[in-house]
Structure 1
């Protein structure tokens, strides 16, 4: 039986989830009451499309746990709707903070949270039947809705498919990671010997290629207070832009799929070797 404090953690998470759903429903109701111009990537922009996008909190069967689904679009928003978006994002931040506390203080509680939270809102859970959806995807719950902080003259959307996550590790840290694998396997033993041949103080890099994503380049109508005239951001969810008259800014139509290969030239100062030194962990040496 879980210690009593864990029930407090779960209760706080449930309250944060309830608040997130309530604020999202308020945002959707505000949009449905006075819809302005909207555009959806490879879909018809509508109140129902926006509902599916903002309440897409689920894994599909067989979905990679690290992957999230995207719902790219543009929404022209007045001040009231922008305020609703800010309220939803604030609720998402609280939900993420509650999750982080559980991961730190009592990680086994996460499995129970994923099972319990959907049933608190039957209208969310009912649509799972027969739709191929499974358990709650926590990251898709707390990821923020993108919004522009000032009116935008134009938006240029483009695929970004060259992203990489690079984590710097010590030889000792890499050894610990290798030892969590099957140390009796020949390929692991070979990599342990290769690692042992390195100086203990040599820094190494663990590289994770990121899935293609859509990026939006925003060009503001007027310079911001800090002098910026443009901004780039990832847009996995619909982008809300301030539009008192309900009109979308000029925007392009990106290709239906990301480019088949890297579109940006490799930087001449790239610091990692071309091939991984320890393939099982995607560990590279610095040049």
Structure 2
């Protein structure tokens, strides 16, 4: 009997991890249904077990979806101790899946297309149901993103859109030059930016800025101080937020606006470290204020 090649041993382990993720998610839905906890779903009239199942097992690309983006299912779930434990087990399976996937990306990246094609058929009832809705390929990031869990009983939750987020990556002048050279260097606007960059000292750090898509943030106010002494915590919530509730009742919560604000809602910091205008617009690269 021949031993499977190492890369297919990894694939088999990932398939088993995906099975465990799906099974743990379905166990969570069934546990919550049996326990009879309350729930609220943003933008939905009804938050029931069918909604929770849809939210937790939404692991597919939609036609035309940007691979960098994920769909959100904002909600609030009152979880008894049994349901909270089931939710923790789901997150454990998600972490195991993410760890294996990271290893495959590093050691056997050529397996990724096969993974996206094969894993959906591990659970035909999911794939067959969704295929007619323009859903076919597995969205790996939507598989491993964790369920947000409140660490202690909550008195109230306030949801709010956060639309001022951005990620900032430091670049050297040489790295910025290489990125510009990878563009069409015959284009006038690229040549202008190369000349601008040539006037920057080699040792000066630059910043590449990526504006992040609007997201929902939950501000949790706890009944008792946490171990660190704080009574409040903010969490980004792309999946339903589970809060401990022995009686299965939801804490007080608000109804956020249907859509994020169109303009920046937070005042620009006076001590913002980046210049207001980009040095290299094609790369969203800025100089630091001096």
State the TM-score, normalizing by the size of structure 1: 0.96
Provide Cα deviations, 1:114-169, integer angstroms capped at 9, x if missing partner: 11110111111011232022311111110000010100000011000100111111
How far residue 184 of structure 1 moved from its aligned partner, in angstroms, is 3.1
C-alpha distance in structure 2 between counterparts of 1:175 and 1:104, whole Å: 27
Provide Cα deviations, 1:180-209, integer angstroms capped at 9, x if missing partner: 223333322322222222111110111010
Match of 1:91 in 2: 93
Match of 2:24 in 1: 23
Match of 1:45 among 35, 44, 47: 47
Match of 2:14 in 1: 13
Match of 1:217 in 2: 219
Match of 1:135 in 2: 137
C-alpha distance in structure 2 between counterparts of 1:111 and 1:183, whole Å: 32
Match of 1:167 in 2: 169
Match of 2:125 in 1: 123
SS at match of 1:42: coil
How far residue 178 of structure 1 moved from its aligned partner, in angstroms, is 2.1
SS at match of 1:215: strand
Match of 1:75 in 2: 77
State the TM-score, normalizing by the size of structure 2: 0.95
Match of 1:112 among 105, 111, 114: 114
The size of the alignment, in residue pairs, is 285
Unaligned runs of at least 5 residues, structure 2? none
SS at match of 1:108: helix
How far residue 64 of structure 1 moved from its aligned partner, in angstroms, is 1.1
Unaligned runs of at least 5 residues, structure 1? none
How far residue 99 of structure 1 moved from its aligned partner, in angstroms, is 1.1
Match of 2:60 in 1: 58
Match of 1:145 among 140, 144, 147: 147
